[in-house]
C-alpha cells in the first residue's frame, strides 16, 4: 500500500496523475473531483469548492477548500444551458 502511494505521488509531479485523480473524491460531498490545470487544483462541481494541490499533493482537508466565485458557477451553467438550447434548436429545425 505504501509503495503504491509513493509511486502515485511521484508520478504526480507538478500536476496530478490520472490514476490518483480517478480515485479521489470530495471529502465533503463524496462526489468525483475534476482537475483544473489553470489553478492547479481539484474542483468539486457538486458543491462548488476548489481544493489546492501543493507540491503534487492534493490538500483535501475541508478547511483548505475555497468556495468558487458565483460568477464562475454562473458561466458554467450559462454555457451548458446555451449548448442545450442550441442543440434543441438544431433538432427542431430538421
Q: What is the pLDDT of residues 6-57, one digit of tens each?
A: 555 555 444 677 788 788 999 999 999 999 989 999 999 999 999 999 988 9
| CATH classification code of 2-68 | 2.20.25.10
Question: Model pTM?
Answer: 0.59
Average pLDDT over residues 64-85: 60
Rg of the chain on CA atoms, in Å: 17
Burial class (CB in 10 A: 0-12, 13-18, 19+), 80: exposed
C-alpha cell at 94: 430538421
Domain boundaries in the chain? 2-68
Amino acid at each position: 500500500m505504501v509503495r503504491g502511494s509513493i509511486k502515485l505521488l511521484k508520478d504526480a509531479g507538478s500536476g496530478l496523475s490520472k490514476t490518483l485523480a480517478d480515485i479521489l473524491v470530495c471529502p465533503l460531498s463524496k462526489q468525483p473531483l475534476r482537475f483544473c490545470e489553470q489553478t492547479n487544483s481539484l474542483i468539486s462541481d457538486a458543491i462548488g469548492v476548489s481544493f489546492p494541490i501543493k507540491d503534487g499533493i492534493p490538500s483535501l482537508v475541508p478547511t483548505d477548500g475555497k468556495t468558487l466565485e458565483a460568477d464562475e458557477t454562473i458561466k458554467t451553467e450559462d454555457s451548458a444551458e446555451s449548448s442545450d438550447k442550441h442543440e434543441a434548436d438544431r433538432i427542431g429545425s430538421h
